[in-house]
A and B are shown apart, each in its own frame.
Chain A
Amino acid sequence: MTAAGAGTLAVLLALVTLVTLVMRPRGSSTVDFYLAGQRVGVASNALAICGDYFSAASFLGVAAAVYVSGLDGVWYAVGFAAGFVPVLLFVAAPLRRFGEFSIPDFLGRRLASERVRLVAVGVVQIVILSYLIPQAVGSGITWQLLVGRGLPGLSAYATGVVLSTAVVAGLVAFGGMRGTTWTQAIQFLLLLGALVWLALAVAGSGFHYSSAVAELSAEPLANPAQGDDGWYLRPEANQIDPGTPALFGQPGAAYGPLAQFALILTLVLGTAGLPHVMNRYFTSPTGTAARMTTVWVIGLAGLFYALAVMLGTAARQQIAAAVDDHPWLDELTVDGVLRVPEHALPVLGRIYGGDSGLAVVAAGALVAVMSTIAGLLLAAAASWGHDVYERHINPRASESQAVWAGRVSTAFVAVAAGVLAIAMEPRELTPAVPSIVAAMVTWAFAIAGSALTPVFVLAIWWRGTTAAGATAGMAVGGTVSVSMFVLGALPVGPGLGETLMTPTLVAAPLAALVTWLVSRRTAPPDDVERQWLVLHGTAADRHAERLARLTLASLEPTRRRSGRAARRREGRGANG
């Protein structure tokens, strides 16, 4: 580990710990622990949502996908960025106004059914674990890249997994949602800062984005492959027009026609069902604030992914051009093309900033992983602690007991994810690594978008949704997406495999159809009209806003008195 790398990491962890200590929950209520007292402002909540959402898959994965597949990789960025538009239109404000602790809590109370709550807990836990394990794997890989050695008795990879999950679990258990909100906001700013610095460094070196795309598209796209005689560059097969070569700026390098739409829709629909992201909306003070928070997130996501796509393109062109001047690139590249595409941003960082540049980018990746792990652990804690412990194991639990249940759940889920991540350790840093990370993140989006999003949207926008319908919808969406995913992993032929691996295109409409059909044959909850007033009315928002205005007004005379006293002091000082 270089001194720059060690310094960067130490400063980063000290900053995050300090923020958590300062912002830790002051009370011991569950609202404070899980929802930060429901007083998180628009800008800070938007930054925290971005910290939750932008994982290693976004930071390293999108640039890598563009690097290796050109335009087909850009669809990842489009899908990730687009996912918040449906959230804004259909979910954010009503979800906050209903005001529960988690997705299962929302569905359980909206549909007046403990069975729905428990089925939703099951689905949510699968989504969380699917998302958590690749983050832990990513932290192990990043530790290998940044530090390169492990604690006594542990490999570098295992050390990264253990330390990152233990540190984040400790911060979450101690800081709750309030502390986590601020650490995630700061982590996102660090992440964005690393990306902006790299983009400025690349642009300052004379990189011309538009001509780079044209130049890269002028010849067939080829990537390293390992043959009997070692590594060589293999031209990518065109999935759309098999007779022609795949080009960087045109579709077809990775996906066939249907798979392109399936990927985008999987990512778009999956976002609204991600528990760690949706739980953040319960922390907004009002529904209107939740809606405006989403507008900020859409803007920040657009900036983030536009930069990631640009840097993926820059890496493809600049790394090939830098091979002659940087001999250390020889072992990482084949004829100027990286063997592991996820190295695109760290290598670009080293080219433009030396070891410090590499440390900044690697620390950014570690921050992305830690921030997402924090959000996932909190969502798991809310789900186990509130929906299972408080509701079913100990319904008479005191606030303090409920908070401790959340803390213990955090530890258990962190240990489970750490153990599974170590068990799934890639044997070496080869192209097999990103496939695990990317596949499992897509898997989480696919289950969330297939099993949760259709039921979630129907429960918000259709009075006729029933508990039986929601249970059937979640079961069908989950089962179909899992089945298609398993089938897609088998050798089913080119084109079909990619479509099956992104099953939301089929599973989500089926889940919605089953929810509707079963709901038509069963009765909605008795108090659906009262619930409708809470979901779509703004009385609670107005009440909260009026209280805020009254509080500010009551503080105003104190402020005026302080201002006058200060002016008098200044006057005396000037005269004296």
Chain B
Amino acid sequence: MEYDDGVDEHDTPAEVDAAFRTLRRVAITHVVLFLVAVLGVPALSLTLGWWSDGQLAGGMSPGFAMAAFGLYAFFLVIGLAAASLSSAVEARMLGGRHTGEDDGFPADGDRS
């Protein structure tokens, strides 16, 4: 049975559009950082001798250490940061009290 507590939950198009644009910036910023890291590690292995030949404590090269465990830690950090920021943006920008009137908003991808 559907429970109805009488509270009307809705977002206005203007709010959603503003949140969408902010979230898109968050996603693009993080994906650029992600791509720099995930493609940068093999790129450095191909271009810099010390990245593959140099030895950290014990003898492992910086390139191998990054590929073997450094990158996974980076993925977790960037994922956690992006998820926290995105959720904070949504909590801040959506779910406010409404007057019942939607304002005009620019439509992304609108060809008019």
Residues A81 and B27 in contact, CB atoms below 8 Å apart: no
CB of B46 within 8 A of CB of A295, answer no
Per the CB 8 Å criterion, the residue count for chain B at the interface is 60
**Cα–Cα distance between A533 and B95 once the two chains are bound (Å):** 12
A77 CA to B78 CA in the complex, in Å?
A: 18
A431: chain B residues at CB < 8 Å are none
| CB of A119 closer than 8 Å to a CB of B | no
Binary flags per residue of B10-52, CB closer than 8 Å to A gives 1, else 0: 1101011101100110110011001000110111011000001
Closest chain B residue, CB of each to CB of A292: B83
Name which residue of chain A comes closest to B69, CB basis. A306
- Which residues does chain B contribute within 8 Å of A209, judged by CB atoms? 58, 60
CA distance A121 to B71 in the complex (A): 35
B55 proximity list for chain A (CB < 8 A): 214
Q: What residues on A are CB-neighbors of B60 within 8 Å?
A: 209-210, 213-214, 249
- 1/0 per residue, CB under 8 A from B, across A500-538: the answer is 000000000000000000001000100001001100111
Q: In whole Å, how far is A64's beta carbon from the nearest beta carbon of chain B?
A: 16
Which residue, A74, A85, A532, has most C-beta atoms of chain B within 10 A? A85
CA distance A565 to B15 in the complex (A): 49
Let me know if B110 is at the binding interface, CB within 8 A: yes
Which B residues lie at the A interface, using CB under 8 A? Answer: 3, 5, 7, 9-11, 13, 15-17, 19-20, 23-24, 26-27, 30-31, 34, 38-39, 41-43, 45-46, 52-53, 55-61, 63-64, 67-69, 71-73, 75-76, 78-80, 82-83, 86-87, 90, 94-95, 107-111
Q: A74-B64, A211-B58, A302-B72 are known contacts; what are 19 more A-B pairs with Cβ within 8 Å?
A: A71-B52, A77-B67, A81-B71, A82-B71, A85-B78, A89-B26, A89-B82, A213-B64, A249-B61, A264-B42, A268-B38, A292-B83, A306-B68, A306-B72, A520-B111, A537-B19, A538-B11, A539-B9, A550-B5
Hey, which bits of chain A sit against chain B, CB under 8 A?
A: 71, 74-75, 77-78, 81-82, 84-86, 88-90, 93, 208-211, 213-215, 217, 240, 249-251, 257, 260-261, 264-265, 268, 288, 291-292, 294-295, 298-299, 301-303, 305-306, 309-310, 313, 461-465, 520, 524, 529, 532-533, 536-540, 542-543, 546-547, 550
